[in-house]
Chains A and B, each alone.
Chain A
Amino acid sequence: MSYLPYAVAAWLFLVGLYGVISSRNLVHLIICVGVIQSSSYVLLLAIGYRTGAAAPIFVDIPVGTPAVDPVVQALMLTDVVVEVTVVALLLALAIQVHKRHGTLNPDELRKLKG
C-alpha cells in the first residue's frame, strides 16, 4: 500500500481550500467545495483498500477470501449523498445571487459588512 492516495487526498483538500479562498466566481467556488469533498472520497477509499483483495460482495467468493473494507465504502456513499445535497443547495443559492446581485463575483457582494 503506497502513500500516494493519502498524498492525493491531502493535495485535493489543500487545492480546494486555495480555490475557495481565491475564487472570483461563485460557481467556481462551489466546485472547489466539491473538490474538498472529493478529497474525503479518496481518503476513505484509501483507508479501506487492501492490495489484491476482492470487492466486498460476499455472494460467489469462497469464505475467507480477503476483501476490501466495505464500511468505508458505505461511508463514502453516504458522503456522496451529503455532497450532492449541499452542492445542489449552494448552486441554487448561486443562481439566486446572480438574479438579485447581478454578479457572481464574491468580491462584489457587499451587502454584509462590519
Chain B
Amino acid sequence: MRLLPVLPVVVPLITAAALAVLTKLLPRAWSALIAIASTIATAAAAALLLRDSLQQPIVYWFGNWKPNGRMALGISFAIDPIGAGLATFAAVLTAAALVFGSKYFDSVENHFHALILCFLGAMCGFSLTGDMFNLFVFFELMSAAAFALCAYKTEDPGALQGALNFAVTNTIGAYFVLTGIGLLYARTGALNMAQMSEALASHPADKLVLVAFAFISCGYLVKAAVVPFHFWLADAHAVAPSPVCVLFSGVMVEMGLYAVARIYWAVFNQTLHADIASLRILVVSIGAATAVLAAIMCFSQRNLKRLLAFSTISHVGLMTIGVGLFTAGGLAGAAIYTLGHGLVKGGLFLAAGMLLHRFSTVDELDLHGRGRSEKWAGFVFFAGAIGLAGLPPSGVSAGDDLIHEAARAIGYHWVRWISFFAAIITSAAVLRAACRVFFGWGPRREEQPGGAPKTQESRETDRSQQRTPMTMIAPAVALVVAGMFLNFTPRLKRIATQSATEFQNSEAYSARVLRAAPKRTPTAPAPAPENPLFGISAFACAALGAACYLFSKSFRSTSRWITRPLSVLHGLHSGHVGDYVAFLTFGIAAFGLVCVLCLR
C-alpha cells in the first residue's frame, strides 16, 4: 500500500467532513457507528505503519516531490515507531471515548463526532510529520478542535471559562512556536526538519538559534502543561466532557512533549549537543517541579475531575524528566509511561463520567458513600489507583523503571525520590476519593472543614438514568485493565529502547529523509530486570496515607498545617486568563534567559 502513510490523517478528516455535512440527515446512532468505524480504520492503518516502521522507518513525500539529497522542496511524513505508536495510541483512545460517548450525551449532535475525528486526524498528522511548519499546522488544527470540544457544553458557565483559558493560553503558545519557526527559517532557509538540522550543524549555535529553540520548545511545553504553563489544564479538564478528557489527558498533553523531543533530536541535536548537560538540568528540574507541585495540588482537590487533572500534570512532570534526560532509556521510559498512564487515566476519567452520569456531580463530598451501587466505576477507581502507583505489571511501573535506570546512569539518583513522592501522593488522592465515594469511609461533608457545597457541575446527560449502560462500563474497564497489565506485552521495553535509540540518531534521521539512506540497525542494551519493590512500596505508602487522612482526625488537622501554605498555591490557580498568560510569559522569558546565558 503506497498510500498507507497518509491514511491515518485522511480517513478521519474525510469522515469528519462527511459527518459535518450530513449532520441533519443522519440519525445519531448511524453517525456514532460511522465515527467508530472510521476510528478503528485509522487505528488499523496506524498500527500497520507501526509494524512497518519497526522493520524500516518510512519516509513519504507528498505528490512525490522528493529531495535532491540536500534540499527538500516537498512535504514529508517521516514515520518512525515512536511517532506511529503515538498515532495508534491516539486512535485507540479515541475509539474508547467514542464508544463511551455513544450513549453518554442525550443530545449529542453529529458535530461532536466530527470534532473528535478532526482532533484525531490532527493528532495523527502531528505525530507522523517530518516538516516543521506542518507540525505547527497540525498543532493548531488539534488545538482548535480541542477548544471546541472543551466548550462542548455551551450552556455551562464553567465550561466556557475553562475553554477560554485553554484557548487563549494555547494559542499564545502556538504563536511562540511560529515565531521560533520563522527565526529558524530565516537562518536555515528550510522547513524540513532534516534539512534544518543539516543547515544548523554547519555553524555553532548562536543567540538566534537559542532563542528559536526556547520559543519552539516552550510553545510546545504549554501544551504539555509543565510548571508554570500548566494552569489551563486543570480548568480545561474539570469542565470538558469526560470522554474528551480521556483524549486530553491520555494523548494530547503528551503530544506536546513528543514535539519537544522530536524537534530537539531531529533539528537541534547536532548544534546543541555540546550543551546537553546544562539543557538536561534545565528540563529535568522543570519536570521535577511539575511533578511535586501538581501532586500536592492533586491531593487537595475535591472535584474528582480536577483531582485527576492535577494527577495528569504530575505524571507529565515525570515524563518530562524522562524526555529531559536526553538518553534513549529516558525517552523509552517516557514513551511506555505515556501508554501506561494514558490507559489508566483514560479509564479513570471514564469512571468519573459514569458517576457524573448517575449522580450529576463529581464532588467527592457530595458523592460520599453514594457510589456503592456503581460497582464497575468503583473497580476502575481502585484499579486506577493501583496503576498510578506503578504496581507491577502496570505500564507506569515499566516506564518508571526505565526512567530511573536512565537517571541513575547519568548520576541523577534523586529522580527516583521525586517519582516516588509523586506516585504516592497522586495514588493516595485517588484512593482517598474512591474510599469515600464507594465505601462511604471518612468524614462526611459536615465534619469536613470548608465542606460547604462549592462546585456545581452541569450535567452532561439530560436525564439521570437508573442504570449505567454497558457501552460506558466496557471501555473504562478495558482501558484500565490494559494499563494495569501493559508490561506483559512481550519485549515491550526492548522495542521501546530500540525505537528511542533510533529516534535520537539525528544523523541517520537526516540521511534517511534527505537521501533515503538505509537504516542502520541500532543496538540497544537489554533493559535491566525490573525492581517490583518500588511500585509495591509506593502503593503501600499511598494506601497508608489515604487511610490516615480518612480515619485520623489528628492527621487531618496536622495536615492542615501543611496545607495552609497551600492556600497561596490555590490562589495562584485563579481561573483568570490574564494571570495564566502572565505566568506563561514569565516562564518563557526565564527559559529563554537560561538558554541564552547557560548554553554557549
Contact = CB atoms under 8 A, between A and B. Distances in A.
A85 B575 CA distance: 24
A96 B185 contact: no
Interface in B167-216: 167-168, 171-172, 175, 178-179, 182-183, 185-186, 191
A43 interface: yes
Contact of B182 (A26, A29, A43, A82): A43
A43 B179 contact: yes
A47 B133 CA distance: 15
Interface stretch (B156-164, B245-253, B259-267, B358-366): B156-164
B244 to A, nearest CB: 15
Given A89-B147, A112-B235, A21 B171 contact: no
B155 interface: yes
Nearest to B576: A106
Contacts of A73: none
B238 A112 contact: yes
B167 A114 contact: no
A40 B175 contact: yes
Interface in A41-95: 43-44, 47, 71-72, 75, 78-79, 82, 85-86, 89-90, 93-94
A72 B178 contact: no
Contact of A106 (B143, B144, B175, B578): B578
Interface in A3-33: 9, 13, 17, 20-23, 26, 29-30, 33
Given A40-B179, A112-B239, A113-B574, A78 B137 contact: yes
A113 B171 CA distance: 22
Given A40-B182, A89-B147, A21 B578 contact: yes
A86 B578 contact: no
Contact of A72 (B185, B239, B574): B185
Given A20-B577, A43-B182, A75 B167 contact: no
A50 to B, nearest CB: 12
A47 B186 contact: yes
B285 interface: no
A86 B137 CA distance: 12
B560 interface: no
Contact of B144 (A13, A86, A111): A86
A72 B186 CA distance: 10
B578 A20 contact: yes
Nearest to B302: A114
B41 to A, nearest CB: 26
A111 B158 contact: yes
B585 interface: yes
A86 B133 contact: no
Nearest to A40: B178
Given A22-B578, A40-B182, A111-B157, A90 B133 contact: no
B137 A82 contact: yes
A71 B161 contact: no
> Interface extent on A, as a size class?
35 or more
Interface residues of B, number: 48
Nearest to B178: A40
Contacts of B238: 112
B172 A33 contact: yes
Given A40-B175, A89-B144, A97 B578 contact: no
Given A101-B157, A113-B575, A114-B570, A86 B167 contact: yes
A26 B157 contact: no
B154 interface: yes
B167 A100 contact: no
Contacts of B582: 21
Contacts of A107: 576
B185 A47 contact: yes
A109 B576 contact: yes
A44 to B, nearest CB: 5
B596 interface: no
Contacts of A17: 172, 581, 585
Contact of A100 (B157, B235, B576): B157
Interface string B566-593: 0000100111111101100100000000
Nearest to B143: A86
B374 interface: no
A101 B178 CA distance: 33
Contacts of A21: 578-579, 581-582, 585
B161 A109 contact: yes
Nearest to B147: A89
B34 interface: no
B140 interface: yes
B151 interface: yes
B153 to A, nearest CB: 10
Interface string B119-153: 00000000000000100010010011001100100
B151 A93 contact: yes
A107 B582 CA distance: 14
A93 B575 contact: no
Contact of A29 (B185, B577, B585): B577
Contacts of B168: 20, 29-30, 33, 90
B470 to A, nearest CB: 33
Nearest to B155: A100
B163 A93 contact: yes
A33 to B, nearest CB: 6
Contacts of B235: 112
A55 to B, nearest CB: 19
B167 A90 contact: yes
Interface string B343-386: 00000000000000000000000000000000000000000000
Contacts of A111: 157-158, 161-162, 575
Interface string B540-583: 00000000000000000000000000000010011111110110
B120 to A, nearest CB: 18
8 contacts: A39-B179, A40-B175, A40-B178, A82-B137, A94-B164, A112-B161, A112-B238, A114-B301
Interface of B: 133, 137, 140, 143-144, 147-148, 151, 154-158, 160-165, 167-168, 171-172, 175, 178-179, 182-183, 185-186, 191, 234-235, 238-239, 300-301, 570, 573-579, 581-582, 585
What 5 A-B pairs have minimum CB-CB distances, sorted nearest first? A112-B575, A114-B570, A111-B158, A100-B157, A47-B186
Given A90-B164, A114-B573, 10 more contacts: A29-B168, A39-B175, A40-B182, A93-B167, A96-B160, A101-B157, A107-B576, A112-B158, A114-B301, A114-B570
